[in-house]
């Protein structure tokens, strides 16, 4: 199970009614944050996400509405007794931005591992992140911008019949499930001997800010949740979308459909778009399972077969 909180749904500038677009992901009690505009830490307090358990911060691009909040967030993480390293991923320039941030907040009491512009698939060798496959896609915006997708693996079930058939001593069952390997009584015992089949995980993709380029549908393919910018609701705003390198609801929904995702969550609304619900038809007529984002909207993403367990 993966829980998400859309910490904000606004684009460009923070407003009294809309926090800036940012997503908090809770996976096994650990936190991942995507984008962090000014005021994100206050939204996190309201959503009670906590600060200490954030292991990974992904920044899509270096426009201020996606970055400024990181300065105060890192301070607040330090104040919350965070001492373990934190990984930060972002486009070219992210190192400079983090360096500048540390001038402003006077440094933090934990190591920052900055990964700059890591296009493609990767895993991060951190105990809390190792079961997540991360994919990074270059997007098309007025500034170098990255899309992210996350595949959260599901633990394989213990298979008693298999364990017994392999004559695995009972006292090893528990630790073999935890992916440990043993040599006992002149035999090797591996996790494979006690675990059932691979099970489908959860895929979540996050795309903002960009034009709807052709590489996106393949990248988001089969996502359980596709979080996507919807800067403009009105189809008539297409010329603004083209000019400012953003998308209309219809364009985002078309990507959702082409990518065969399960659910589309629209976010990053223009400050001029006062009531996004007014335009939902422009998305849902293309892709039915569309949700309009709002501050601190929470969703639970279940593993595909979880309901029948």
Given the rule CB under 8 A, which residues bind a second copy?
Answer: 13-16, 38-39, 41-42, 45-46, 62-64, 67-69, 71-72, 75-76, 79, 96-97, 99-101, 103-106
Which SS3 state, helix, strand or coil, does residue 244 take?
helix
The nearer residue to a second copy, 71 or 256, going by C-beta atoms, is 71
Catalytic residue flag (residue 55): no
The nearer residue to a second copy, 15 or 285, going by C-beta atoms, is 15
**Shortest separation between residue 46's beta carbon and a second copy, angstroms:** 5
CA–CA separation, 188 and 270 (whole Å): 59
Is the bond preceding 209 in cis, omega lying within 30 degrees of 0?
yes
Give Cα separations from 187 to 14, 31, 118, 255 (angstroms).
62, 39, 41, 52
**Shortest separation between residue 108's beta carbon and a second copy, angstroms:** 11
**Shortest separation between residue 40's beta carbon and a second copy, angstroms:** 9
**Shortest separation between residue 298's beta carbon and a second copy, angstroms:** 16
Which SS3 state, helix, strand or coil, does residue 228 take?
strand
The nearer residue to a second copy, 62 or 299, going by C-beta atoms, is 62
First to last CA, the chain: 13
Catalytic site residue from 55, 65, 135, 237: 65
CA–CA separation, 71 and 111 (whole Å): 15
The nearer residue to a second copy, 168 or 231, going by C-beta atoms, is 231
CA–CA separation, 193 and 180 (whole Å): 11
Report strand pairing: 182-184 vs 146-152: unpaired
Hey, which residues are catalytic here? 65
């Amino acid at each position: 199970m993966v829980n998400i909180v859309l910490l904000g749904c606004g684009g460009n500038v923070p407003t009294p009614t809309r926090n800036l677009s940012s997503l908090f992901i809770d996976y096994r009690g650990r936190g991942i944050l995507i984008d962090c505009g000014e005021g994100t830490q206050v939204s996190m307090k309201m959503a009670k996400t906590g600060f200490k358990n954030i292991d990974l911060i992904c920044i899509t691009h270096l426009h201020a509405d996606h970055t400024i909040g990181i300065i105060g967030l890192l301070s607040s993480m330090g104040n919350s007794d965070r001492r373990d390293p934190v990984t930060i991923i972002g486009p070219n320039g992210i190192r400079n931005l983090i360096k500048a941030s540390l001038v402003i907040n006077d440094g933090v009491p934990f190591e920052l591992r900055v990964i700059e512009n890591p296009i493609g698939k990767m895993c991060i060798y951190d105990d809390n992140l190792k079961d997540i496959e991360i994919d990074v896609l270059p997007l098309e915006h007025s500034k170098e911008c990255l899309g992210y997708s996350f595949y959260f693996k599901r633990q394989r079930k213990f298979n008693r019949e298999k364990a017994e058939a392999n004559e695995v001593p009972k006292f090893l069952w528990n630790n073999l499930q935890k992916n440990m390997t043993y040599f006992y009584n002149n035999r090797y015992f591996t996790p494979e001997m006690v675990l059932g089949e691979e099970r489908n995980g959860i895929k979540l993709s996050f795309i903002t800010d960009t034009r709807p380029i052709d590489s996106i549908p393949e990248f988001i393919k089969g996502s359980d949740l596709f979080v996507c910018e919807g800067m403009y609701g009105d189809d008539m705003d297409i010329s603004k979308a083209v000019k400012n390198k953003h998308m209309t609801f219809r364009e985002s929904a078309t990507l959702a459909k082409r990518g065969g995702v399960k659910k589309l969550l629209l976010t990053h609304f223009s400050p001029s778009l006062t009531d996004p619900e007014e335009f939902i038809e422009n998305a849902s007529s293309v892709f039915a399972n569309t949700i309009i984002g709002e501050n601190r909207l929470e969703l639970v993403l279940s593993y595909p077969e979880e309901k029948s367990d």
